[in-house]
A and B are shown apart, each in its own frame.
Chain A
Amino acid sequence: MSRKDTRTRNVTASGKAAASNKLTRRGFMAASAAGAAAAAFNFPTPALAQSAPFKLGLLTVKTGPLAQGGIQMEQGVITWLKAHDYKMAGRKVDFISADTGGKPAGTKTKAQELVERDKVDVILGPLAAFELLAITDYVRDHKIPTLSLAGADDITQRRPNPYFLRPSASSSQAMQPMGHYAATEMGKKKAISIDFDFAFGYEQQGGFQAAFEKDGGCVLNKLWAPLGTPDYTPYLAQMTGCDVICQGFAGSGPIAFMKQYANFGLKFPVVTGETGGDDALLHAFGDEAVGMINCAPYTLDLETDTNKKFAQAMVKNFNTVPGFYAAGLYVNCDIVDAGLKATDGKTDDKEKFMAALKAVKLKDTPRGPISFDHLGNVVGSFYIRRIEKAKNDYGLKLWNKTVKTYDNVSQFWTWPEKEFLSHPVYSRNYPALKKC
């Protein structure tokens, strides 16, 4: 049901088949055959009148291993648009969703499609850090405001892009409070971390290690598993002599890891970040995940009307509870809407529009209050949650219960910006392991 809905929206949004709202398989064959031909008759956009629709582009991943989060991203945007009658600051919204396939070259092509063919005013997405890195120069050259939840710390740190905003969290942002919490409130001293062997993993674990060691902890060892590995046994065997495990897996990784971790008989408490304890994974976790502590920029149990409305709309529209990806994109829409209101719906002066977006401060979004630092990264609340078997409104067996909220968390955690930026970006070897 949800899929059909999504697809219908795609078609109307792309404007080519606005006449028909249904896409049958046969209809598609004709459409695809005509695709190339239609290209030739693609009319140039007329000069923007004030009433012209606002064009909102989304780069997401709907095929391949990252699709689970990517589809949630699209669902978040559609939920926002449905709740606001497809209008932003009084202008009608044309929503165009593009599937990058999770590859940098595909992301570049799709970004070109959105910018050059569909003339979008704003890009939401992409999902993965390497996708974002492939288009960061392109969106800057074309002055297209881009709001993404991709990690890639340096895009808001050492290689800032003035046309980029990250309203979710940098890769290390949630892990820093997590490290602090593990060292102080949990009183842990020795950690072993494990993550996928790619930049997002390095940055997550770098943030955890830096914050954990700042407060007196020590990371004994950092383990790296190949992206998407099915078997964690060789790494589980190395987990000895510690009192806490920090995992940072994404996608379906956390589910497989926690199962094997429990089967291996390990009992150390596990902490993780926004992808490892995502609310959208709660239905897939088993009892082995009970007690896992995680830190996330969005929490399903945030007791505000805005969040409840959003979560209920997600359940109604797509029969699924929102996680970090859907909420992230919903908040992105809130920001675009607020920025557009600040410029009275005008987007022709791109610098002004971008400045308005960056100046947006919202008190009430599904993830709580947010604003941006001067580099375009979010400053907002981060929630430490504990997975429990608790009653909830959505019929889930497990539930993320917030145990502590850190307000106004910046990407620099408690370090002064200058000191933080003088270090290299978190990597496989930075911070280096100390002798404990």
Chain B
Amino acid sequence: MTARLAVFIIAIMALVTLPQWMHGVYYVNVASQILFYAVFALGLNVLAGYAGLVSLGHAGLFGISAYATGYMLNLGYSHSVAIATALSIGMVSMAIYAVLSLRATGIGFIMITLALGEIVWGLAYRWISITGGDNGINLHGRPEPFGIALTSPNAFYYAALIVFLIALAVMTVFVRSPLGAALMGTRDQPRRMTALGYHVWLIRFFACMLSGLLTSIAGILFVYYNQFISPQALDLTASAEVLLMVISGGAGTLLGPIVGSTLVVVVKSVVSGYIERWNFLLGAIFVAIVILMPEGLVPGTVRLWRAAFARRRPGPVVEATEKAS
């Protein structure tokens, strides 16, 4: 436990001091992107990981709050009003999503969310008076919470970091709460949970809402970061990309989505500067993950680590590590 705490503290320290040791604002900006994509992936992980409900329409939700923010700001509302409206619209949309898609599980759920995501994409593309169509929405300026302007890359990084840490804390608490346990129960044994008197639909609905909240927050960070939103940000590829982040890192784990988003953003933004066929590289990495660690990078690494550990020192040590976890 103490070793784990030490690693945790070191990781936090590294994140907090990142703008100091990371040379160049460009990499600070990449780090900001990793953070808000991690929040997005954490949001999807609530459904795909803990609830066993794979959504292929989450980029639509992400886009709804991003568009809402941009639209409200361009109407002349203040940042706080825009953010509050965007969150509310995001949550209402998630509720609609949930009511429609929770009628099914498994492939049915995937197909309904896919269809909903495509509907939102179509609206973004065609409802030109609101969304600007293909030309998207440009917005100007970032908010100034407590008088601190988020215009500089470092300030924005810290804002994203705070949001990210809160999201991670919320997820940690949620996963360990009775509700979190119940949600995992509905994933593994929905019929047994029903027999035990749990309201499976309601638990899933709540999971959807938590997922929608995190997704909306990520959407708002995304639009403030890019200062631009257009339909490309919410197409099927975007939904698939965030799902890949979750699955490659390890669905149903706390750290998995974070590792996955780091992997995807780093390959997309940094490695693509060195290799022309970065899409191929990303694909190859995913294939390697699926073959070598089908459960994802984080649980896979833990498994391999333990296997190596157990071979060297068999016996009670294994039990000890297992207890510690």
A-side residues, CB < 8 A to B, are: 3, 6-7, 10-11, 14, 16-17, 23, 28, 31-32, 35-36, 39-44, 62-63, 98-99, 101, 103-106, 108-110, 112-113, 116-117, 129-130, 133-138, 152, 198-200, 427-428
Partner-contacting stretch, out of B97-105, B130-138, B304-312? B130-138
Partner-contacting stretch, out of B21-29, B47-55, B71-79, B112-120? B21-29
Contact: A103 with B128, CB < 8 Å?
no
B-side residues, CB < 8 A to A, are: 21-27, 29-30, 33, 128, 133-136, 138, 140, 153, 222, 226-228, 230, 232-233, 266, 268-279, 281
Which residues of A have CB within 8 Å of B278?
63, 99
Q: Please provide the 6 A-B residue pairs with the shortest distance between their CB atoms, ordered closest to farther.
A: A117-B26, A116-B26, A199-B134, A198-B134, A134-B228, A116-B25
Q: Which of A17, A40, A138, A199 contacts B135 (CB 8 A)?
A: A199
Contact: A10 with B276, CB < 8 Å?
yes
Which residues of A have CB within 8 Å of B270?
35-36, 39
Minimal Cβ-Cβ distance residue in B for A10 = B276
Main secondary structure of the interface of A (DSSP, over half): helix
Q: Which of B138, B226, B268 contacts A136 (CB 8 A)?
A: B138
Minimal Cβ-Cβ distance residue in A for B277 = A63
Contact: A112 with B268, CB < 8 Å?
no
User: Smallest Cβ distance from A166 to chain B, in angstroms?
Assistant: 16
Q: Which of B21, B29, B230, B272 contacts A116 (CB 8 A)?
A: B29
User: Smallest Cβ distance from B282 to chain A, in angstroms?
Assistant: 10
Most chain B beta-carbon contacts within 10 A, residue among A6, A23, A105, A428: A105
A44–B22 alpha-carbon span in the complex (Å)? 12
Which residues of B have CB within 8 Å of A129?
134-135
Which residues of B have CB within 8 Å of A134?
136, 226, 228, 230
Which residues of B have CB within 8 Å of A137?
138, 140, 227-228
Contact: A109 with B266, CB < 8 Å?
no
Minimal Cβ-Cβ distance residue in B for A425 = B135
Contact: A16 with B274, CB < 8 Å?
yes
A17–B227 alpha-carbon span in the complex (Å)? 33
Contact: A104 with B233, CB < 8 Å?
yes
Which residues of B have CB within 8 Å of A6?
276
Contact: A133 with B138, CB < 8 Å?
yes
Contact: A104 with B232, CB < 8 Å?
yes
User: Smallest Cβ distance from A137 to chain B, in angstroms?
Assistant: 6
What would 20 A/B residue contacts be, using CB atoms closer than 8 Å? A11-B274, A17-B274, A28-B275, A39-B22, A39-B23, A39-B24, A63-B277, A63-B279, A98-B273, A99-B278, A105-B226, A109-B269, A116-B24, A116-B29, A116-B153, A133-B135, A134-B230, A138-B227, A199-B134, A199-B135
> Known contacts A36-B266, A106-B269; can you find 12 more A-B pairs with CB under 8 A?
A14-B274, A31-B274, A31-B275, A35-B266, A99-B276, A113-B273, A130-B135, A130-B232, A133-B135, A133-B230, A134-B230, A152-B135
User: Smallest Cβ distance from A423 to chain B, in angstroms?
Assistant: 17
Which residues of A have CB within 8 Å of B128?
427-428
Would A108 and B274 be within 8 Å (CB), given that A39-B23, A113-B269, A129-B134 are in contact? no
Contact: A14 with B273, CB < 8 Å?
yes
A-B CB contacts (within 8 Å), total count: 125
Most chain B beta-carbon contacts within 10 A, residue among A40, A130, A136, A137: A130
Contact: B230 with A28, CB < 8 Å?
no
Contact: B276 with A7, CB < 8 Å?
yes
Contact: A104 with B136, CB < 8 Å?
yes
A19–B72 alpha-carbon span in the complex (Å)? 51
Which residues of B have CB within 8 Å of A130?
134-136, 230, 232
A116–B12 alpha-carbon span in the complex (Å)? 26
User: Smallest Cβ distance from A429 to chain B, in angstroms?
Assistant: 9
Would A109 and B275 be within 8 Å (CB), given that A130-B134, A130-B135, A133-B135 are in contact? no
Q: Which of A105, A110, A136 contacts B233 (CB 8 A)?
A: A105
User: Smallest Cβ distance from A223 to chain B, in angstroms?
Assistant: 16
Contact: A103 with B23, CB < 8 Å?
no
Contact: B226 with A103, CB < 8 Å?
no
Which residues of B have CB within 8 Å of A109?
29-30, 33, 268-269
Contact: B133 with A199, CB < 8 Å?
yes
A98–B271 alpha-carbon span in the complex (Å)? 11
Minimal Cβ-Cβ distance residue in A for B231 = A130
A28–B271 alpha-carbon span in the complex (Å)? 10
A109–B278 alpha-carbon span in the complex (Å)? 15
Minimal Cβ-Cβ distance residue in A for B138 = A137
A366–B226 alpha-carbon span in the complex (Å)? 36
A427–B136 alpha-carbon span in the complex (Å)? 14
Which residues of B have CB within 8 Å of A133?
135-136, 138, 228, 230
Minimal Cβ-Cβ distance residue in B for A138 = B227
Which residues of A have CB within 8 Å of B134?
129-130, 198-200
Most chain A beta-carbon contacts within 10 A, residue among B227, B271, B273: B273
Which residues of B have CB within 8 Å of A3?
276
Contact: A32 with B228, CB < 8 Å?
no
A344–B138 alpha-carbon span in the complex (Å)? 36
A116–B22 alpha-carbon span in the complex (Å)? 13
A3–B128 alpha-carbon span in the complex (Å)? 40
Which residues of B have CB within 8 Å of A135?
228
A98–B275 alpha-carbon span in the complex (Å)? 10
Contact: A104 with B271, CB < 8 Å?
no
Which residues of B have CB within 8 Å of A105?
222, 226, 232-233
Which residues of A have CB within 8 Å of B228?
104, 108, 133-135, 137
A296–B25 alpha-carbon span in the complex (Å)? 41
A46–B23 alpha-carbon span in the complex (Å)? 14
Minimal Cβ-Cβ distance residue in B for A39 = B27
